[in-house]
Amino acid sequence: MPDDAPRPFPEDIPDSIETIHIIGICGTAMGSLAAMLKERGYRVRGSDAMAYPPMSTWLEERDIDIMLGYDESNLDWDPDLVIVGNVCRAEYGDAVATRERGFPHLSFPEALRHFFFEGKKPLVITGTHGKTTTTAMLAWILHEAGQDPSFFVGGVTGNFDSNYRLGDGDHFVIEGDEYDTAYFDKVPKFWHYAPHRATINNVEYDHADIYPDIETIESMFEEFAALIPDDGSLWVNGDDRRAMEVSAPCDSPVKTFGLGADNDLRAVEIDYGLTTSVEVTLDGESLGTFELNAIGEFNVRNMLGAAAVALDEGIDADTIKDAMATFERVQKRQEVIAEIDDILVIDDFAHHPTAVQSTLEALRTTFPDRRLWAIFEAKSNTSRRRVFQDDYPTAFAPADRVVLSRPFDKKDDLSDDERIDIDKMVADIERLGPYADLIPDVDEIVEWLIARLEPGDIVAGLSGSDFDGFHGKLADALRENRG
């Protein structure tokens, strides 16, 4: 559970830094930070328990060395600074060496702010769902408006083919993650980001490994809202009760976006499809009809959140409209992997029950006459737990067929009482209508599907990870059998 406040920024960070060691360098965020530092001229190395493609290859291409394992000797090259990822535990060898040998050290969000926020206006996108897409949308709007923004987002953006960019403009657009920071700084990352403007897209229970209840999560967002200065602004999803409640401590103007009639920025006359068409109004006045290359109500809300912050930054509605018409989705967000013999294979990051349901409802609305398969992996720290045992069955109800793999086992595995009961979940899903099957192994799932898929089917692989290559394996098998 997080502490009450971030640690004070360390006083021993040298003014002149040339060499940096990163503990946990092969994580998506840490690897990207390494590349950003290298781009700024620092000499960077790092350590991790494992190194495999694509991140290992990506780092090697940028001449960033990876040391395997967390050993004290990793710091024998005597770097000027150590950056510690939240994967690192206090007892890891290079963490012990950092403390015992007195190396100055920062967490990931501390380093991001220290090296890249100076002279920038942080625009922070938060919420349980939709952060990545909304951040990517806002970055693209500012880019198309000629603002040359910097950004950091938790996924590879379609427009930039990257999850970060270092621009010369005034803005740094950042996805504000509520997960904790480091073993020595147990607070949400977004408390470190000094927000000037921000959104709160929604607030739900998540991250069951560190937060005991929804009240604790609400308090994290309340503290975040209080960080926004008087001359900044906070945009909140007005259709989300908890998001509205946690915005109360904010001293800056609080405005709302959403579909409900009471919102300041509102979506009306929505026409859902592969391209979503929506009229947007601000304070009751029409800003015109926006076209969005994305499906589902949740993406309409994501667009509204991005547009709201852009409007506060003086970007005109026509520029926002043009940017949204050319916005390309982030990888693993309703990403089409292949279409073979009229069978569509889609990769989506959904693993929280609300995200699962939103994604499946969007696909059902967009393709009402096609058979919808949901293939799900419980791998995240929350989805593996029993906390959402009763919520998942309803989330899968929009699908025609559901296939569940066995929950992922970690070394620090859960007890039987804590772990989700996957057999019960199969039975509960079937009681609501969809056929459901439990197939433990991805290769078995692919083989099973190949014998049953028909032209017109849509297969949505839902997971917060690479799902053991499920999407690529299924696409390859379809090409071999039907291509």
For residue range 348-404, list pLDDT tens digits in order.
Answer: 988 899 999 999 999 999 999 999 999 999 888 788 888 889 999 999 999 999 999
Supply the mean pLDDT for the chain.
93
Q: Assess whether pLDDT exceeds 80 at residue 410.
A: no
pLDDT at 28: 85
pLDDT band at residue 466 using 50, 70 and 90 as cut-offs = confident
Confidence class of residue 178 from pLDDT cuts 50, 70 and 90? very high
Nearest residue to 160 (alpha-carbon basis) of 176, 179, 137, 180: 137
pLDDT of residue 364: 94
Residue 58 has pLDDT above 90, yes or no: no
pLDDT tens per residue across span 188-242: 999 999 999 999 999 999 988 889 999 999 999 999 999 999 999 999 999 999 9
pLDDT at 409: 72
| Phi–psi pair at 57, nearest 5 degrees | -65, -40
Q: How confident is the model at residue 483 (pLDDT cuts 50, 70, 90)?
A: low
Burial class (CB within 10 angstroms; exposed 0-12, middle 13-18, buried 19+) of 82? buried
- The confidence score (pLDDT) of residue 383 equals 85
Is the pLDDT assigned to residue 440 strictly greater than 80?
Answer: yes
236 CB-contact burial (10 Å; exposed 0-12 / middle 13-18 / buried 19+): buried
Phi, psi values for residue 23, rounded to 5°: -90, 120
Residue 121: pLDDT band with limits 50, 70, 90: very high
- Range 335-482 has CATH code 3.30.460.10: no
What's the pLDDT tens digit per position in 237-285?
Answer: 999 999 999 999 999 999 999 999 999 999 999 999 889 999 999 999 9
Fold of the domain built from segment(s) 117-264+291-325 = UDP-N-acetylmuramoyl-L-alanine:D-glutamate ligase (3.40.1190)
Reply yes or no on whether the pLDDT at 417 is more than 90: no
Quickly tell me which residue has 């950003």 as its tokens.
Answer: 36
Residue 412 has pLDDT above 60, yes or no: no
The encoded tokens of residue 6 equal 């971030």
Q: What is the pLDDT of residue 1?
A: 57
Q: Where are the domains of the chain?
A: 19-107, 117-264+291-325, 335-482
Using a 10 angstrom Cβ sphere, with 0-12 exposed, 13-18 middle and 19 or more buried, the burial of residue 437 is middle
Distances (CA, A) of 150 to 29, 122, 167, 439: 15, 10, 5, 43
Q: How far apart are CA 318 and CA 136, in angstroms?
A: 18
Separation CA 286–CA 308 (nearest Å): 14
Indicate the range of 3-7, 301-305, 459-463 predicted with least confidence: 3-7
Q: What is the mean pLDDT of residues 419-423?
A: 88
Give me 345's structure tokens: 């294979």
- Tell which residue, 166, 175, 170, has the closest CA to residue 198: 175
Using the predicted structure, report yes or no on whether residue 177 has a pLDDT greater than 70: yes
pLDDT score of 388: 86
How high is the pLDDT of residue 123? 98
**CATH among 3.40.190.10, 3.40.50.720, 3.40.1190.10, 3.40.50.300 for 19-107:** 3.40.50.720
